[in-house]
Structure 1
């Protein structure tokens, strides 16, 4: 495939050179008030077209960078909006979760007391009789 692309580019380049060298007699290019004719006009037209393509490429790169920054900002705002929505949903659902949270809080408190009591027994010095 790479070889085909190289051959295709060379064929297109050869066609452009052929057209520029042999069929450029009836080309007319107008810049402002000046009108160019003949092979010089074809050359000026090709050069101006190449410069235009170069400028278009640079503009597209900058537009791509700007769009990437804009969409990154939109993504941050979308994530922030989702977080706010999740908090609002949690606030709206919290009264409904109260019957589940009361037993969970009791279990958490009992487990905490058990750990504290075990830690105190390990930390207490042994009393020698």
Structure 2
């Protein structure tokens, strides 16, 4: 059964965006937008707020040019219209200080690459449940 949730995948590598989009679709999340950095993601989020279908969940890479995932997360949390938006951080670095920084900035979850579909699905379900968002 397809979910009505709109996901925004933010990663500077097109291959990673494609992998995440495929995994989401296999889980029944068919509405997926993509952005190659935090700046583009904020533009997408602002455009969505003006009328069309709003984004329900952001999956953001940490390391990106122009605006990284942590800066994007901080911008989302500062914007009253977006502050409650679920954000899952994805990174290749498992540094404890990064996990702590993401948590302090308001990340709802954190996944270290490489990960599998089961890990992604468990994180998404946990975040959606905690946020009270119907999957």
Structure 2 length-normalised TM: 0.16
Higher relative contact order (CA 8 A, sep 6+): 2
Asked which structure has the greater CA Rg, the reply is: 1
**Bigger fraction of residues in strand:** 2
Structure 1 length-normalised TM: 0.16
**Bigger fraction of residues in helix:** 1
